[in-house]
A and B are shown apart, each in its own frame.
Chain A
Amino acid sequence: MTENRPRGVMNPEHEQQTPTLEALLAAAARPTPFSAEAEVRAVVAFRAARQAGAPAAPTRPEDDWRPKSPGVEIRWIRTGIGALVAAAMLGGVAMASGTIPTPFGEPPLEPGPAPSVSSRQAEIPGEPEPPLTTGPGARIPGERPPAAKDDLAHCRAYESKEGRGGALDSTAWQRLEDAAGGPDAVAAYCARLLSEQPGKSSPQERPPKGEGGTIDAPPAGQQSGPDNGVARTRKPPAKQ
């Protein structure tokens, strides 16, 4: 910042007579004295806040000043690639096992969310979305709408990062916030999603075939890549 100093300041004669920019900045940065009374007020406020239960308040994006580690994004990319590979495998298996012909059948276990799966699915081809969310493998077999699968992944990241070094990237956080209905609701939303999820293993690590056929296969067929053409022909019944 010193390379731009005007000639006058470079002139040693002048330098003796006027404060330099460095002197000015150093002076500005000198600690400003503060009153002990103000400190006491702050501590009293702190005590009051503790007693009011403030520590439980969730972290909003503007409160998160953890340094962004490049590792976080790399891990996300890896997760995405893994999901795509697993999806391709799942799709192939589903086709081979002949489960694809019933793409819009109700999933045997959880009938509730199924309709929204197909309507959501039908909307997606119209709007370009990142591969992580539209990629067939980014869906969890047979359990909930596609977005929920992403949320689940984001929740895992959110939970695992809580209290450690990383920060959830802002789009992921935004999705969670939208899905949960507000920043304050994210923790509860995630807790619910994660508790609904049996076991810790992610879907792409599960064996893609076997006894899971009745549970996993229909929705996997319904959502996997080769089958998207079918979904595309359906119009969404209503905007969500």
Chain B
Amino acid sequence: MGKRGGDRRAQTYDGELGAAVERAQEGDEDAFAAAYRRVQPPLLGYLRGLVGDDAEDVASEAWLEIARDLGRFRGDGAGFRAWTASIARNRALDHLRRLKSRPRTTLFESELAELPARQDTAGEAFESISTEQALALIANLPRQQAEAVLLQTVIGLDGASAARVLGKRPGAVRSATHRGLKRLEQQLASLQPMRVTVSDSRALGEAR
């Protein structure tokens, strides 16, 4: 998943992130802002998959905690991504507990309804799915699968870190990822022949 070709870039990215975090821990505000700008986009993507449109609010809560506890953190850039994801996840779970009565799928119905059905070229197909739609599809997986996929594809954690964030054994996370990806492919395939309508997206929700 996204590993090919991205390794060196990820290393540079994590190196710079780690350096920024270190300076932030010494009190450098600009470095903290730089770390924020690097971490916030994937973190928001992860949270969007967990709590939908409430992602920004939950992220704000998470950053309050990150800012407060930054001095406690030990680790490098990759570790920081995992640590922040872990904090964001706890805030998201709190949030979900608060709204337990509201089913999560409804957050995404409008976005799923717009999923394009037909493209003329592979190139267009590649761009045919928006980030929101992709996250919405992942979010419709059973939560364990959704989280396993999100942590690894969106946050970019390795299997071991994802497992630690989720409090699961690496093997369990591996199989959840596997099942999640498989289901996503099936969903993509079944969406393909027809124009997607609201009723289709509902069927997708029921298929869980």
Contact = CB atoms under 8 A, between A and B. Distances in A.
A28 B150 contact: yes
Interface stretch (B93-101, B102-110, B121-129, B199-207): B121-129
Q: Which of A62, A63, A64 has the most CB of B within 10 A?
A: A63
Interface string B38-51: 00111011001100
Interface string A26-44: 1111111111001101110
Contact of B83 (A9, A43, A45, A63): A63
Contacts of B161: 65
Contacts of A54: 68-71
B170 interface: no
A15 B68 CA distance: 48
Contacts of B33: 39, 42-43
B153 interface: yes
Contacts of B25: 55
A56 interface: yes
Contacts of B37: 39
Contacts of B82: 65
Given A21-B184, A64-B74, 7 more contacts: A14-B189, A18-B189, A24-B188, A29-B154, A45-B63, A45-B67, A55-B25
20 contacts: A4-B182, A17-B119, A18-B191, A20-B126, A25-B2, A28-B45, A28-B134, A32-B41, A32-B45, A32-B131, A42-B64, A45-B63, A45-B64, A45-B67, A45-B68, A54-B71, A60-B72, A63-B69, A65-B161, A167-B74
* Across the A-B interface, the 9 shortest Cβ-Cβ residue pairs: A65-B79, A65-B75, A31-B41, A18-B192, A27-B134, A55-B71, A8-B189, A28-B134, A45-B67
Interface of B: 1-2, 24-25, 27, 29, 32-33, 36-37, 40-42, 44-45, 48-49, 55-56, 59-60, 63-64, 66-76, 78-80, 82-83, 86, 116-122, 125-131, 133-135, 137-138, 149-150, 153-154, 156, 161, 177-178, 181-182, 184-186, 188-189, 191-192
